[in-house]
Amino acid sequence: MRKVLGLLAAAVLFVSAFPAIASAAPNGNASKAGEAKGACDYECLTGMVNQYLKALLAHDPGELPLARNVRYTENTIPLKVGEALWGTISSVGDYRIYFADPQAGEAGVEATIRENGTPAILLLRFRVVSGKITEIETLVHRNADDAKALEAFGHPNPVWSQPVQASQQTSRQVMAKDANIYFDGILQSNGNMVPFDLRCNRILDGYQDTNHPGVKGWFHKGSFEPDAMNIRDNMNTGIWSYIHSIEPRRIVVVDQKMGIVLGMFMFNHPGNVKYAHVKGVGDVPMPPIVRHPSSVLMGEFFKIENGKIRQIEGISVALPFGAGEGWEAPRAAHRGN
């Protein structure tokens, strides 16, 4: 545990000391971010997102301006562009949240989709350099009920599409730092250290697990309903103590215009935590799903207003324990290579 905390501390230091690198370039190459600057502005990037969705729906990557060595992953696995989701997608829903980061040349979208008619949730991000797409990262949360639950909200929370006044925009560094502190707060069961706007709600895989009274979530025990709490108090309960580490953490899009920061975060669960010790409640048993080793890649995005986290949303992809994220090095997602 100490070793892991040491690594986490190192990760925090990395983000704090080199915010431009951490926030601008997902592969840690700051010079690439510089190259992308000015090449494709906000509207250009969001237009390319729509172009991508159109090509995806047509099952035709040939419609896209792909770099010769474009890298593509789906749910962490390196594949050829045109494989997997490219062969199965049958429609794109109206539930969409766009992201664009002209400074880093990154863009993305969360959208509900259908694969051969089966509902799913897509989280896409790609990188554009000199007008060409060089990196494509897709997460597909394949759970029809979750996708339908997300659509049942009717539309995304309006905060996602409300631009932040230029005078009130948060710096890139602070946006990335806020997201990072959120994960530290989870690991330390300390919501007080996270700059939450207490109106903040979290919707993951179509389920709102904050300020949501009357539902029996994973950790419901008698009158203890953490899903009914605000996000700070929820975090303070200690119910997330089964999460042993959250690494790596990659900030991939910093959308200052909309105040959105998007990242990919690997949650690692050894599966050996049986109870959460909740003050005033006692031992709350961990649900069976986290009582075996597993890793989960979260594609998660944060709305930052006035330096505070106003809203959180994202999707998960369940993976074997210790799985890589597919972006460690070209064609080396698997450590056995």
Partner 1 sequence: MLSKPALASGIAAACAALLLFIAQPCHVSAAPSNVAATVSDANTCDRACLQGFVEQYLDALAANDPSRLPVTQDVKFTEDGQQLSLGDGLWNTATGRGTYKFYMEDPAAGEAAFFGTMRESGEPIILALRLKIENRKISEVETIVVRDVKEAQSMEKRGHTDPLFIESIPPTERASRANLVRTANLYFSGMQLDDGKGDYSFFANDCDRVENGSEATNNPVNNNGGLVASQGNSVDKSSQERSDLTYSASWSCKEQFQSGLLHFVTRIRDRRFVIVDPERGVALAFTFFDHASGKTRIFKLPSGRTITSGPTTPWTWEIAEVFKVERGKIRRIEAVYHRAPYGMNSGWSTWRESMSTLARWAAIPGQN
Among 78, 195, 217, 248, binds partner 1 (CB under 8 A): 78
Nearest to 298 by CA among 327, 262, 329: 262
Residue 103 vs 138, nearer CB to partner 1: 138
Question: HSE-up of 186 (CA within 13 Å, CB side)?
Answer: 18
- The CA-CA-CA angle for residues 176, 302, 143, to 5°, reads 125
Interaction between residue 120 and partner 1 (CB under 8 A):
yes
Interaction between residue 257 and partner 1 (CB under 8 A):
no
Rounded to the nearest 10 degrees, the angle between the axes of helix 172-187 and helix 2-17 is: 170
Binding track, positions 166-205, relative to partner 1; x by CB under 8 A: ----------------------------------------
Nearest to 59 by CA among 23, 129, 4, 113: 113
Binding track, positions 80-99, relative to partner 1; x by CB under 8 A: ---xxxxxx-----------
Name the one residue in this structure whose structure tokens are 């990919």.
264
Residue 54 vs 274, nearer CB to partner 1: 274
Interaction between residue 154 and partner 1 (CB under 8 A):
no
Of 101-109, 117-125, 256-264, 308-316, which segment contacts partner 1 by CB under 8 A? 117-125
Tokens of 90: 């049958």
Q: Report how many residues bind partner 1 under the rule CB under 8 A.
A: 41
Q: How far is the CB of 120 from partner 1 (least distance, A)?
A: 7
How far apart are alpha carbons 56 and 102 in whole angstroms? 23
How far apart are alpha carbons 226 and 216 in whole angstroms? 9
Cβ-proximal residues to 127 (8 Å cutoff; 6+ apart), any chain:
26, 36, 104, 105, 106, 133, 134, 135, 136
Interaction between residue 148 and partner 1 (CB under 8 A):
no
Nearest to 304 by CA among 136, 181, 120: 181
Among 76, 169, 180, 236, binds partner 1 (CB under 8 A): 76
Among 54, 292, 306, 328, binds partner 1 (CB under 8 A): 292
Q: Which backbone phi and psi does 304 adopt, to 5 degrees?
A: -110, 120
Near partner 1 in 258-287, by CB under 8 A = 270-272, 274
Residue 280 vs 336, nearer CB to partner 1: 336
Residue 104 vs 187, nearer CB to partner 1: 187
| Secondary structure letter of residue 292 according to DSSP | S
Near partner 1 in 4-33, by CB under 8 A = none
Q: How far is the CB of 294 from partner 1 (least distance, A)?
A: 9
Near partner 1 in 309-328, by CB under 8 A = 317, 319-324
**Residue 318 in contact with residue 277, Cβ under 8 Å?**
no
Residue 36 vs 113, nearer CB to partner 1: 113
Residue 220 vs 291, nearer CB to partner 1: 291
Residue 16 vs 88, nearer CB to partner 1: 88
Among 142, 202, 249, 250, binds partner 1 (CB under 8 A): 142
Q: How far is the CB of 166 from partner 1 (least distance, A)?
A: 41
Interaction between residue 337 and partner 1 (CB under 8 A):
yes
The secondary structure element, H or E, covering residue 247 is: strand 245-255
- Strand, helix or coil for residue 293: coil
Cα separations in angstroms, 87 against 42, 75, 120, 158 = 29, 15, 14, 32
Binding-site ranges for partner 1 (CB under 8 A): 59, 74-79, 83-88, 115-118, 120, 140, 142, 270-272, 274, 288, 291-293, 317, 319-324, 331, 333-337
